[in-house]
Structures are given as structure tokens and as C-alpha cells.
Amino acid sequence: ARPFDANVFKRDFPILRETINGRPLVWLDNGATTQKPQCVIDRLVQFYTHENSNIHRAAHTLAARSTDAYEAARDKVRRFINASSVKDIVFVRGATEAINLVAQAWGRRNVGEGDEIVVSHLEHHANIVPWQQLAAEKGARLRVAPVDDHGQILLDEYEKLLGPKTKIVAFTQVSNALGTVTPVAEMTALAHRHGAKVLVDGAQGVCHMPVDVQALDVDFYAFSGHKMFAPTGIGVLYGKADVLEAMPPWQGGGNMIADVTFEKTIFQGPPDRFEAGTGNIADAVGLGAAIDYLSRIGMANIAAHEHELLAYGTEHLLTVPGLKLIGTAREKAGILSFVLDGCRSEDVGKALDREGIAVRAGHHCAQPILRRFGLESTVRPSLALYNTHDDIDVLVDALQRLQSGRGVR
């Protein structure tokens, strides 16, 4: 592995050489999506230039190439999150689709009237709405584990929610709005003690830290490729073998069947059973290339770099007059969220954009947790492996000028 130098890694990402409003782009909107390294872009070109075909392995040479590339990507995902088998890895569109798949395929079979689904107050709308829809359809109840004033889940309160009616617990590994890292293994063990299944939303987790789904012992783990340097439109649902095996299909169509007559269809086993129709083959291959890239650098090295940068960013942001950090958990990853006295978050976002600095300003698709802090929006710089101290300095300098009335350009 190369020694960790974010400035060197930055050069792997061609878009980071863009200038925006005459200034070098400072990309601090990684929580929304990450940029793509040249090796991922090249892999897509390679696929469409030399391998493109639908994946019916035996049909012809290109079909064999594309099938091999697609299945190799599945194995890269397996290794990356330490799943025990490629059968546990279902390709989906993204975290949202993964969660909907579980809510509908697993949920419709296993959640009934009077049952309970537990989520946390930190959740992205993608990990609230599908459960709400399931609860409404089944007459089940959605219960919410509260957080303290730092944005940390109150474990005692969470434990009190668990009982014989709890069928599934769904919570995030890292809050996209506050950056809180949740104690996944501990919360999972508690849920299992009550016989509930566990889905972890890893959309903001898998890109920031090493993930071992077997060590965490989660039943489902969902994430999106585009937040980990891969293309949009590809994501992953991991499921434990026995849980996926017992789960009915979600959508019906080609690729997911063993045999079809007008009377009856016999379905394939996992993962094919959950991949009806032609999948996003090229972007899955791109995800494999992104995983190769991350593995060359090392997730532990990335986590250490981002941890240091988060501490640096926290310290320096707090020097801006009137800036209040939202989300002060002991364990955080990748996300800084703040409000500025006397400024609308949306206006701060626009002012920063005039200086080439890209951050998210708004509710981050997590309205309940912002409202827990009495807010409708925050400004959210979010980090990735290619961010540097310079990026933070440029941000802090712009905010300081904004607050001192000298304004940004």
C-alpha cells in the first residue's frame, strides 16, 4: 500500500481538478455522493469497449466475459464486507432499494398485526418510510429509539423498546445528518436476544470504516456504490444465508427463475431470486473496481485519516463566530453538521458555492433527527479519503469572512 497522502489520492479523481466560479473545486459533499477515481471510470470504458453483453454465461464469448466480470464484482463485495458466501450478496440500485426489498419481501411475510418495528431517531428517510409503509399495510407499529443531546442513541431506552412483538430493528451505522457512529454489534446482540432480525443501513458506514458483517452479526446490511467511489445506480443488500433462503422473491421476471409454466414458477435461490430482470452489470463491475481501489489504500488507513481530519475540522469550525455544531457524539465518522447564527443554511451553502466549495445545506433527508434539535436544516460538510487540511482551511476561511461581514466574493 502507498503511504497515506490525501493530496496524492486527490490526483486519482479527475473531477477534483475542476474550477468552479474561478476557484479550485473543494468537494465536501461526500455524504451525498463521492467522486469517481480514474480507475473506476476506466473500468466502465473497458467494460463497454470489450465485455458488454447480457449475462447468460453460455451464450457466447462476450456473455462469458460480462458474466465473469459481474460475478467477480460480487466476490469483491463479499470479501470487502467479509460475507461468508457470494450467495449472500444481492445487487440492487442502492441503499434505498435494498431497504425496500427487505421491508417488502421479508416484511410482508414476517410482520403482522400488532407486531413492532424498531428504528432509531437518527434514520435517513430511506430507513423510515419503507417501514412506515409496511406498518400501515400490516397494522404493525413503528417505534423509535431516542437519542441524547449529542445525537447518541440512548441504549437503555432502545433496550426497553425490545420485546416479543419486535420483529425487526432497522438502524443506521453512521448518521448522515450528524455523523454519529452507532454501536452496531451491541444493538444487534440486544435485538437478537428478543428474537428480532436486524437491518443496518450502511450507506454512510461502509465508505468510512472497515466493515465485517459476520463480526457485527447483522441479518441485513444495505449500502450504495455511489457513496464509495463507484457509479450511481448500483448498491448491495447483504443478507445472512438462512434469512435470504427463507425469503420470498420481491420482483418477478427473468433471471430469477428455475422454471416457469403458466401454472407455477420455481424460483432460483439467493442471490438470483432477488435480481429479476437485467441488472446494472457495468456499474456492478465499476463497484468492483472501486473496491479494488479502496482495498489498495486500506479501509483502516482511510478511517484513521478521516478521523484525524474530522477532529481538525471540528476544532477549526468552532473558531467561526456564531457557529454551532449539531451532533457531538463521542464516536463520529465523516460528517460535520452546523448552523451559523443569523444565516439561513441554504444561504451559507450558496455563499460557499460562489467560492468553489461544495457542501450540502438542507434537511439531508433526515427531518426527524434535525427536528429533534429544533432545526429544519443544517450546513453539512462531509469528508472522504481525498479531503485535506487545505480543504478544511478554505472552508473555515470562507465562513469566517461570511461571519465578519467581509463576505465571500
Catalytic positions are 365
Q: State which residue, 66 or 204, has the beta carbon closest to ligand PMP.
A: 204
In the chain, the amino acid numbered 370 is L
CA nearest neighbour of 220 among 238, 206, 207: 238
Which one, 126 or 153, has the nearer CB to ligand PMP?
126
* Minimum gap (Å) between residue 172 Cβ and ligand PMP: 5
Question: Is the Cβ of residue 234 or residue 402 nearer to ligand PMP in the bound state?
Answer: 234
Question: Among candidates 357, 24, 348, 379, which has minimal Cα distance to 177?
Answer: 379
- How many CA atoms does the CB half-sphere of 114 hold within 13 Å? 3
Q: Which grid coordinates are listed for 203?
A: 450507506
Binding site for ligand PMP (CB under 6 A): 94-96, 124, 126-127, 172, 176, 201, 203-204, 224, 365
What string of DSSP letters covers 206-248? TTTS---HHHHT-SEEEEEGGGGTS-TT-EEEEE-HHHHHTSP
For the CB of residue 409, give the shortest distance to ligand PMP in the complex, in Å. 30
Q: 384 with 328: CB under 8 angstroms? A: no
What is the nearest approach in angstroms of ligand PMP to the Cβ of residue 278? 20
Using the minimum distance from each CB to ligand PMP, give the nearer residue, 237 or 396.
237
When the beta carbons of 126 and 145 are compared against ligand PMP, the nearer one is 126
How many other CB atoms are there within 10 angstroms of residue 397's CB atom? Answer: 15
Q: Least distance (Å) from ligand PMP to the CB of residue 174?
A: 7
Distance in Å, CB of 114 to ligand PMP, minimum: 28
Q: Closer CB to ligand PMP, residue 365 or residue 375?
A: 365
Tracing cell 463479499 back to the chain, one arrives at 78
In the bound complex, what is the minimum distance in angstroms from residue 187's beta carbon to ligand PMP? 15
DSSP β-bridge partners for residue 204: none
Three-state SS annotation for 159-215 = HHHCCCCEEEEEEECECCCCCEECCHHHHHHHHHHCCCEEEEECCCCCCCCCCCHHH
Question: What nine digits make up the cell of 161?
Answer: 423498546
Residues whose CB is less than 8 angstroms from the CB of residue 175 and which lie 6 or more positions away in sequence, other chains included: 122, 151, 182, 204, 327, 335, 366, 369
Closest separation between CB of residue 122 and ligand PMP, Å?
A: 8
With respect to ligand PMP, which residue has the nearer C-beta, 96 or 377? 96
Output 203 or 299, the one with its CB closest to ligand PMP: 203
Three-state SS for 19?
A: strand
Nearest distance from residue 135's CB to ligand PMP, in Å?
Answer: 19
Identify whether the C-beta of residue 382 lies closer than 8 Å to the C-beta of residue 29: yes
SS3 of 36, please?
coil
H helices then E strands: how many in the chain? 15, 17
Residue type, 182: T
Maximum C-alpha span of the chain? 74
**Within 13 Å and on the Cβ side, how many CA atoms surround 155?**
10
Q: For the chain, what's the residue count?
A: 409
Q: Give which of 382, 380, 388, 386 is closest to 309, Cα–Cα.
A: 388
